[in-house]
Amino acid sequence: MLTITSFETLSAQMNGRVVTQSDPDWDATRQVFNLATDVRPAAVALPRDVSDVVAAVGYARRNGLRVAPQATGHNADAHGALEDTLLVDVRELQEVFVDARARRVRVGAGVKWGRVAPGLSDHGLAALHGSSPDVGVAGYSLGGGMGWLARKYGLQTNSVTAIELVTAEGRATRVDAEDEADLFWALRGGNGNFGVVTAIEFAVYPVEHLYAGVMFFPFERASDVLHAWTELVPTLPDEMMSWASLLQFPDAPFVPDPVRGGSFAVVYGAFLGSEAEGRTLLRPVRDLAPAMDTFAMVPPAALGTMAMDPPDPLPFVPTTALLDDLPHAGVDELVAAVGPESGSNLAMVELRQLGGALGRRTPGAGARATLPGALSLIALGVPEDAESEAKVRAYLESLDRAVRPYRVGDYANFVMEPTDASRFFDPETWARLRQVKALYDPGDLFKGNHHIPPAY
């Protein structure tokens, strides 16, 4: 049985720290993005460099602990119990290197998108990040990564060109399409089940400006807006990504002034093209006369915060699904379940358009090659107490019921509870992932947020 003092041996081998229950910053260190999640590992190792990661992995293996790699804790809820696990939290691996001419970026595994995207924008480049600058490049990329440019360029994981990691045997290695190609394939979709990633290299794309913004409609117009939007999206080219949300903003400082405390039906868009063409494409929605319209030609940096995601940790309860096209009846059911007349206290019900490159398997893609479905749904409530939590859960259940006939699967990065990860993959991909796991981690040392067991 390991005691807390046993971790002193590991501490002595590392340049970084090992934080245990007896440290004053234990609670602050193990806190994750969802404040409703209580992550309790055996200890948290905070490596400062690759040799620290090698030491932490070796120590865990020799002492019968498992290893959970983590970057920011945005998907920590999926882990479940971690008592037998050393959390290797790479938050201090913070290098960023941009080769603008080669359109390549290399980041330490602790880097968040907010440290990368604005600088790229200054070079006329865009990365395939998502809605929040606070999400980590590592977990986002290893699980898929579906962002504003995904219909044109696909999932971020398939723009990853090389991954540096420490394997179960404690070997620091760099894998890509040529070297250890099977491991490179498995990492791109297999998240933290194959090693602790220390750095990631990925391709970025030339984008000087794009036509992007948000149209806000009064919440009462939710039905009209969602009907118009669901009719429109199947007609849009891959250069356009559009999302539609029902948003009930808190009266909180992070929310911009004009919308703070208000409820809205919202349509977002990001179009790789001209303003004139973008306006034409979005006309059916704009004809509904938005109360506020922020669309303009903007540099890609504007995409970083366009979704108005909360910048700081908060307690939330989510649900999610990948859906087929929502017919009018489906929109009606959704609006009846969580729309303006339902009394819903959900902070966000968000539909994202899929299709385009998200549905096309490219040569050399990783284990998460595509996403099924026409729309992705993610919804959440931010409970203040037990009563509002019960209400949030009831509205999430009624939303799940409303969309159940149109469900075609789940997107792993949006699933925030412990689950059987085989549901995210077709049987062939799942079997291959388990074979690669058996090859590189036969003892099942690594515990990814969505666990992949070795093939036996």
Ligand X SMILES: Cc1cc2nc3c(=O)[nH]c(=O)nc-3n(C[C@H](O)[C@H](O)[C@H](O)COP(=O)(O)OP(=O)(O)OC[C@H]3O[C@@H](n4cnc5c(N)ncnc54)[C@H](O)[C@@H]3O)c2cc1C
Contacts to ligand X by CB under 6 A: 33, 69-76, 90, 109, 130-132, 135-136, 138-140, 142-147, 191-192, 196-197, 309, 413-414, 448-449
In angstroms, rounded to a whole number, what is the distance separating the alpha carbons of residues 116 and 349? 28
In angstroms, rounded to a whole number, what is the distance separating the alpha carbons of residues 105 and 100? 8
Q: Which is nearer to ligand X, 212 or 335 (CB)?
A: 212
In angstroms, rounded to a whole number, what is the distance separating the alpha carbons of residues 141 and 133? 14
Q: Which is nearer to ligand X, 295 or 414 (CB)?
A: 414
Q: Which is nearer to ligand X, 196 or 285 (CB)?
A: 196
Give min distance, CB of 168 to ligand X, in A. 12
Q: Which is nearer to ligand X, 353 or 449 (CB)?
A: 449
Give min distance, CB of 172 to ligand X, in A. 13
Of 388, 372, 316, 322, which is closest to residue 350 (Cα–Cα)?
322
In angstroms, rounded to a whole number, what is the distance separating the alpha carbons of residues 116 and 141? 14
DSSP category for residue 164: E
Q: Which is nearer to ligand X, 256 or 327 (CB)?
A: 256
Reported as half-sphere exposure (CB side, CA atoms, 13 A), residue 236 has a value of: 35
Give min distance, CB of 326 to ligand X, in A. 20
Question: Among all chains, which residue has been given the structure tokens 């390549």?
Answer: 104
3-state class (DSSP) for residue 167: coil
Decide: residue 123, CB within 10 A, 0-12 exposed, 13-18 middle, 19+ buried.
middle
| Paired residues of 108 in beta bridges | 199
Q: Which is nearer to ligand X, 221 or 368 (CB)?
A: 368
Give min distance, CB of 389 to ligand X, in A. 18
Give min distance, CB of 72 to ligand X, in A. 4
Hey, which bits of 50-102 come out as E strands?
66-70, 85-89, 96-99
Give min distance, CB of 143 to ligand X, in A. 5
Give min distance, CB of 243 to ligand X, in A. 9
Q: Which is nearer to ligand X, 32 or 335 (CB)?
A: 32
In angstroms, rounded to a whole number, what is the distance separating the alpha carbons of residues 2 and 196? 22
Give min distance, CB of 305 to ligand X, in A. 12
DSSP category for residue 112: B
Q: Which is nearer to ligand X, 222 or 382 (CB)?
A: 382
In angstroms, rounded to a whole number, what is the distance separating the alpha carbons of residues 351 and 360? 20
- Backbone φ and ψ for 197, nearest 5 degrees, come out as -75, 135
